Amino acid sequence: MISIVILLSIVPVTLFIGIIFGLIPYFIRPDLIFGLRVPDYQYFGPVISKMKKENLIYDLSISIILVVFFIILYTYIPPILIELIPMLEIFFMTGVYFYFRSKTQELKNKTISLEQQTRISAFIQTGSTNINPVWYLVPWIELIIFIIIGTIYYPNIPNTFAIHFGPNGKPNAYATKSITSVFLLLIFIAIPLTVLFDLIIFAIGRSRTNANVPNPKKSALQLKGFNSKLFLLLIAINIIVTFTMFLGSLLMWGVIPSAYSFILVLPPLLILPLVLIFAARNGQAGWKMYPNVKDGEDNGAVRDDDKEWIGGLIYRNKNDRSILVPKRYGVGYTFNFGNRWSFLILGIIIGLPIVIIILEVMI
């Protein structure tokens, strides 16, 4: 029988990836089509609409096929390969993206000659956002409360307790009682993750707005509103992650029976609809916000900043001091690989899971 933990994780995540990838073209600014800027996109309305629908169908089909494949062959697939299913799905969907990107390039080449294209920076400096600083403290207050609860309950924790559970909910690794082992999730994992969230928010606060649009002032206003809501979304995700760590600690301490280990999957599932609702309501970089705000007219120049984006996915501009910039294709932000600080933060993001794994092995 398929473990309920796996069903509550791999299947929803696989389906969510298919949905979000399929809907991405509907969240992006109208003039950004599959990672390419198409100023005269209005002339290709029916063709672009058709490509977006086909992209959605292809991505959902890939997602459904992988889910069916997983359910049918679950008992024959090694656990490590099961965890690679989302990565395989993203690989296929990236191929779909580049297929439609090539078709978009053909459309663009029909209307914009190389002589007309003026390469400019896609971002101008702007203030980011103003939200109540108290919100930044909420994840830390939550974490402190959970640590206090753990400190009070510490005497009741057995000298030897489970620290890891298998897909069937049964313990498969144990540790001797100590400050390090008892507070592994709350101190040695939750605190670094919360610091990482704060660093991401700081980096986003330094981002610039998309200037390559007819209304640059409106675009700046939209990014500011987008960042305000994105900060709150990141704080909410941080709160959910910290709460999950607390549930994991309660499971380790024996407060929650091991038979209920599947509840660890439930809080993270809240993140999926939150991200989808956020993207649908605001659009990438907030282009759906403030629809009635007017700005000055464009000067008529055809601007093309595609060369700053490798494949429409990777941004590299040494003249741009931003660490994070709004994605051209996708939801949220991506690194500016022309800024050396981006590599430092990316190294922390990649290195943190490695450190966590080493700590688990040592304990």
Q: What is the pLDDT of residue 142?
A: 94
- What is the per-residue pLDDT for 214? 56
pTM over 0.85: no
Q: What is the pLDDT of residue 169?
A: 62
DSSP alpha helix (H) spans, 155-306: 179-182, 190-205, 216-253, 266-269, 271-282
Q: Residue 117's pLDDT is what? A: 47
CB 144 within 8 A of CB 135: no
Task: With CA atoms as reference, report the closest residue to 219 among 131, 285, 299.
Answer: 285
Residue 268 in contact with residue 241, Cβ under 8 Å? yes
Position 293 scores a pLDDT of: 67
Q: Provide the pLDDT for residue 300.
A: 44
* Residues 178/181/184/188 CA torsion (nearest 10 deg): 60
Residue 293 burial (10 A CB sphere; 0-12, 13-18, 19+): exposed
Q: Give the per-residue pLDDT at 80.
A: 61
The pLDDT score that the predictor gives to residue 125 is 43
pLDDT digits (tens), the chain, 363 positions: 445 556 567 788 888 889 989 999 998 888 888 988 887 777 888 899 999 999 999 999 999 998 888 877 766 766 666 767 888 899 999 999 999 999 998 888 776 554 444 444 444 344 445 677 788 899 999 999 999 999 999 999 888 887 776 666 677 777 888 888 889 889 888 998 999 898 888 878 776 655 445 566 777 778 888 888 889 999 999 999 999 999 999 988 988 887 777 788 888 888 888 988 998 888 887 888 877 766 554 444 445 677 888 888 888 888 777 788 888 888 778 888 888 888 888 887 777 777 766 665 565
Report how far residue 163's alpha carbon sits from residue 161's, in angstroms, rounded to the nearest whole number: 7
How many angstroms separate the CA atoms of 124 and 262, rounded?
Answer: 46
Query: Residue 115 has what pLDDT?
Result: 43
